[in-house]
Amino acid sequence: MLLLNLLYPIKQLDYLHNIFGNTKQKQKIFKLMDNKLGIVVFALIEILIGLITFIAVLLSLIQGNSTKPSEVIIFVLTTAVISTILGFGILRYNLTSYRVLLFFSKTIILSKILIFARIITLNGTLETIIPSYIKNAISIIYHSLIIFYFTRKSIRKRFGERQNATFHLNIPFLK
């Protein structure tokens, strides 16, 4: 129920249908989405998330402020490095980075939904000023936007992806 309450503003986006009701305006919007600008924006966001997280964790370690177990710190540092590398890979239109970004986005959305449903809990979460339910909702929205944007046919073509990576499952022994 909490998730539905947090995502209620998204339901209000129905007014966009009224604002951008005619076909020409919709075509302009989707043409903007097919632009390289979206790729650059998402790549820079990934790079910034990775670098800021990495620097913040390192500073907390240097200052001796970290009370988290070493496993949590190693996990956060590793994911920060992966995020940064993925951002640079996306800027270079690297197909592997594209696929890994979509894979992690789907995994993160699933894990956040399980956290909202209280099916899983994380004991080693990092403490911040922002409440975790808000961070989780933002994460779901952000990663949903990544999936929506990067699975568009024109964007897939830019990375050389021939199939829709969201629904493509390559199982070698089933060939």
Question: Within a domain: residue 18?
Answer: no
- Would you say residue 81 has pLDDT above 80? yes
Question: Within a domain: residue 170?
Answer: no
What pLDDT, on the 0 to 100 scale, is given for residue 44? 96
Question: Within a domain: residue 85?
Answer: yes
Q: What is the dihedral of CA 71, 76, 78, 81, to 10 degrees?
A: -160
Structural domain of residue 148, as residue ranges? 35-159
Model confidence at 103, pLDDT cuts 50, 70, 90, reads very high
Model confidence at 30, pLDDT cuts 50, 70, 90, reads low
DSSP string spanning 40-90?
A: HHHHHHHHHHHHHHHHHHHHHHHHT---S-HHHHHHHHHHHHHHHHHHHHH
Considering only residues 90 and 154, tell me which one the structure prediction assigns the higher pLDDT. 90
Report for 62-66, 93-97, 151-155: range of highest mean pLDDT: 93-97
Question: Within a domain: residue 50?
Answer: yes
Which amino acid appears at position 46 of this protein? E
Question: Within a domain: residue 47?
Answer: yes
Structure token pair of residue 13: 């986006």
What pLDDT, on the 0 to 100 scale, is given for residue 92? 95
- For the chain, the domain total comes to 1
What pLDDT, on the 0 to 100 scale, is given for residue 95? 94
Q: Is 71 exposed, middle or buried (0-12, 13-18, 19+ CB in 10 A)?
A: exposed
Asked if residue 84 lies in contact with residue 54, where contact means CB atoms within 8 angstroms, the answer is: yes
Question: Within a domain: residue 93?
Answer: yes
Question: Within a domain: residue 11?
Answer: no
d(CA 115, CA 132) in angstroms, rounded, equals: 10
For 160, residues 6+ apart whose C-beta sits below 8 A from its C-beta are: 93, 95
Question: Within a domain: residue 30?
Answer: no
Which amino acid appears at position 42 of this protein? F
d(CA 159, CA 36) in angstroms, rounded, equals: 11
d(CA 16, CA 40) in angstroms, rounded, equals: 25
Q: Is 142 exposed, middle or buried (0-12, 13-18, 19+ CB in 10 A)?
A: middle
Q: Mean pLDDT across the chain, nearest whole number?
A: 79
Q: What is the pLDDT of residues 117-146, one digit of tens each?
A: 888 876 655 556 778 788 888 999 999 999
